[in-house]
Amino acid sequence: MADSTVVSEIAAGPDKPQQVDLDRCVHCGLCLNACPTYRELGVEMDSPRGRIYQMVQVSNGAPIGPSYLEHIGLCLACRGCETACPSGVQYGRLVEAARAEIEERVPRPWLARVMRRFIFGHLLQSPATMTVLGTLLWMYQASGLQKLVRALGLLKPFGRLASLERLSPPAEPPFFFSQIGKTFPAEGPTRYRVALLAGCIANVSFARLNEATVRVLQKNGCEVTVPAGQGCCGALHVHSGLREDARKLARRNIDATLDGGLDAILTNAAGCGSTLKEYHDLLEHDAAYADKAARFVKIMKDVTEFLASIEMNRNMGSLPVTVTYQDSCHLAHGQKVRSAPRKLLEAVPGLSFREMFLSDLCCGSAGVYNVVQNEMAMQLLQNKMAHVNATGAQVIATANPGCMLQLQAGASLHGRGQRVVHVVELLDEAYRNAAGPAA
């Protein structure tokens, strides 16, 4: 957040809300009930319609002031409004552009600049730094120090720090960085050649999920390559207004994967997938990469979407658990993928599925939202866990690592001992339970 000084009018660059996108909104208000912040606060300026109205004012010359920064910053960018909108307003595109314009025009305090430069410019792009920090995090967790800190409430005097510590991701050595550049053969005849984009932080905190993803794909006749040269997808950069940084990362991932003779490029992180599928928008004015980005997007799929589209290996063992599913916002609203994860869950023998109320309403994760807007995120999480508890499910499945972290915190704070897993992890367990050879 910038200081309280109103920012004067400065010529904005190309990354700002475009008039053609703003004009699509007819201010009908059908988006209001789909917006988590409006449902919670009942404030018009914290609804999609209200935020678009503010974007229009800025586009027409109004200064960017503290109120605008507050309301745009409080948006989860969950894109639930896009699903509800009858006019096809691309709200995600608008709010990302608004944040890019803010990033260009509003000077941040020096400490915020240093922190953002380290996180977005270095940490998310440096496997070496993530490995070092991941190892330190693992030592903190494995030594029992984390349990002691929580049990004694040592962080409570520091206010919000205690809430943020509960959201810290697990460290899972051995980290998945060592698998980048490798190719894993299909089990049985090779039916597909696919690439897995392993992410950035996921290599440290969701290494076992990445391994499970490779195994499930192998079980389904996929030769899986984890391309060398890949890196962070840029989703967190886009959500934070750093579009030029995101473009550099997009070019890197396109170069690493595009000409590999692949049937599909896959991700197991729905938040990443939404940005990966929009590389053509990100690079639409890049003469050297616009066509490449369009070709990349054509074969880019979420792993649940891909598995649900092929003839799956049904040789699974029984998994007698009751499961509910939390829609990742960027899978359901951004990518319009809803049935695929449910289809995969229904294919697992012995699994009992129970739909939760408002399963596609944001849990409060939203990239780094639960860190920068922790109070609102935790309230949304409490609401979500009430719906989870009502299902009586033992397991909460989702399709995005960020949602998993948020829901794990929710299960600890407001739940009934539920286990939180990725849909692919349940498939992996079922394949492991199979008695016979792979089909």
Q: What is the CATH number of the domain that holds 60?
A: 1.10.1060.10
Note whether 396 and 324 are within 8 A (CB).
yes
Identify the domain boundary among 63, 83, 107.
Answer: 107
Instruction: DSSP for 270-304, please give it.
Output: HHHHHHHTTHHHHTTT-TTTHHHHHHHHHTEEEHH
- Token pair, residue 324, equals 């509910």
One domain, residues 349 and 241: no
Nearest to 204, CA basis, from 135, 125, 302: 135
Q: Are residues 194 and 85 in the same domain?
A: no
In a domain, 379, yes or no: yes
pLDDT at residue 367, rounded to an integer: 82
Backbone angles phi, psi at 359, to 5 degrees: -65, -20
Q: Which of residues 288, 309, 330 is at a domain's end?
A: 309
Question: Residue 437: its pLDDT value, please?
Answer: 46
- Show the low-confidence residues of the chain (pLDDT under 70): 1-14, 435-439
Residues 120, 39 contacting (CB under 8 angstroms): no
Beta strands in 287-389 (DSSP E): 300-302, 322-325, 352-353
Looking at the structure, do residues 300 and 195 belong to the same domain, yes or no? yes
- pLDDT for the residue numbered 149: 85
Q: Does any domain span residue 6?
A: no
Residues 216 and 305 occupy one common structural domain: yes
| 144 in the same domain as 58 | no
Cβ atoms of 353 and 345 closer than 8 Å = yes
Count of domains for the chain: 4
286, 309, 332: which is the final residue of a domain? 309
In a domain, 5, yes or no: no
Say what the pLDDT of residue 371 is.
80
CATH of the domain at 346: 3.40.50
Residue 184's H or E segment, with its range, is strand 183-184
What is the extent of the structural domain holding 79? 19-107
Q: For 205-228, how does the pLDDT look when each residue is reduced to its tens digit (9 = 90+)?
A: 999 999 999 999 999 999 999 999
Give a yes or no: residue 78 inside a domain: yes
In a domain, 14, yes or no: no
Q: Is residue 1 in some structural domain?
A: no
On whether both 209 and 125 belong to a single domain, the answer is: no
174: burial class by Cβ within 10 Å (0-12, 13-18, 19+)?
exposed
Tokens 């691309």 -> residue: 90
Instruction: Judge contact between 195 and 184, C-beta under 8 A.
Output: no
Q: Give residue 199's pLDDT.
A: 92
367 and 404 housed in the same domain: yes
Residues, the chain, total? 439
User: Same structural domain for residues 299 and 336?
Assistant: no
DSSP-assigned letters across all residues of 58-111: HHTT--B-HHHHHHHHT-----HHHHH-TT---HHHHHHHHHHHHHHHSPPPHH
For residue 14, what pLDDT is reported?
A: 67
261 in any annotated domain: yes
Q: Which pair of structure tokens corresponds to residue 228?
A: 């060398």
Same domain, yes or no, for 185 and 297?
yes
Which of 270, 203, 266, 212 is CA-nearest to residue 424? 212
Are 83 and 122 part of one and the same domain?
no
| Residue 354 and residue 392 in contact, taking contact as beta carbons nearer than 8 Å | yes
Same domain membership, residue 288 and residue 192: yes
CB atoms within 10 A of CB 59: 16
| Chain centre to alpha carbon of residue 358 | 19
Residue 219 belongs to domain with CATH number: 1.20.1050.140
Judge if 151 and 232 occupy the same domain: no
